[in-house]
C-alpha cells in the first residue's frame, strides 16, 4: 500500500455508505492523531485503540443522526498524496465549506486542524478536507 491515509479515509467512506456502526482500520501514529481530531470536532461518536500484534487497530464508532440516519461526515477528500504533496502557509490557509468543515494538516508542531494552525501561525502539509 502506497498511501495509508487514503486507505484510512476510504475505509471510513465505505463504512458510512454501508451504514456500519463500527469500522476497524490498521493503526499508525498519524491515523491515531486524525482519529482524535475527528472525535474532538464531533464527526465520530467514539474510538478505541486496540493493541493486538505489532501494529494494532483503531475501532471507530461512526456518528449518525437518530432521526434521518444521515452521517455526521458528508465528505472525506484526500488532498496531499505521495505523488503530489500539497503544502500551505498560515497566510494561505484553506477554508473548507466557508468555515463549516475542517482541513487536517501535518505541521512541525503535530497534526492539527486549519483553525488551530492559523492561530499558531504555522503552515504544513494539507492531508484532507472533512465536512
User: Considering its fold, how many domains does the chain have in total?
Assistant: 2
Give the residue from 81, 83, 79, 82 showing the smallest Cα distance to 93. Answer: 79
Last residue of a domain, one of 62, 97, 112: 62
Q: What is the pLDDT of residues 95-123, one digit of tens each?
A: 999 999 999 999 999 999 999 999 999 99
- CA–CA separation, 52 vs 74, rounded Å? 31
- What is the value of pTM for the model shown? 0.93
Q: What is the pLDDT of residues 2-43, one digit of tens each?
A: 899 999 999 999 999 999 999 999 999 999 999 999 999 999
C-alpha cell of residue 124: 504544513
In terms of residue numbers, what domain contains 113? 76-130
Last residue of a domain, one of 62, 88, 112: 62
Amino acid at each position: 500500500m502506497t498511501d495509508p491515509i487514503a486507505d484510512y479515509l476510504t475505509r471510513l467512506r465505505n463504512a458510512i455508505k454501508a451504514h456500519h456502526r463500527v469500522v476497524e482500520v490498521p493503526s499508525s501514529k498519524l491515523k491515531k492523531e486524525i482519529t482524535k481530531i475527528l472525535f474532538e470536532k464531533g464527526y465520530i461518536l467514539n474510538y478505541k485503540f486496540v493493541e493486538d500484534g505489532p501494529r494494532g487497530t483503531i475501532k471507530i464508532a461512526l456518528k449518525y443522526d437518530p432521526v434521518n440516519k444521515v452521517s455526521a461526515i458528508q465528505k472525506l477528500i484526500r488532498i496531499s498524496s505521495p505523488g503530489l504533496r500539497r503544502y500551505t502557509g498560515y497566510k494561505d490557509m484553506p477554508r473548507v465549506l466557508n468555515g463549516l468543515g475542517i482541513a487536517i494538516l501535518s505541521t512541525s508542531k503535530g497534526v492539527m486542524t486549519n483553525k488551530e494552525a492559523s492561530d499558531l501561525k504555522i503552515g504544513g502539509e494539507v492531508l484532507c478536507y472533512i465536512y
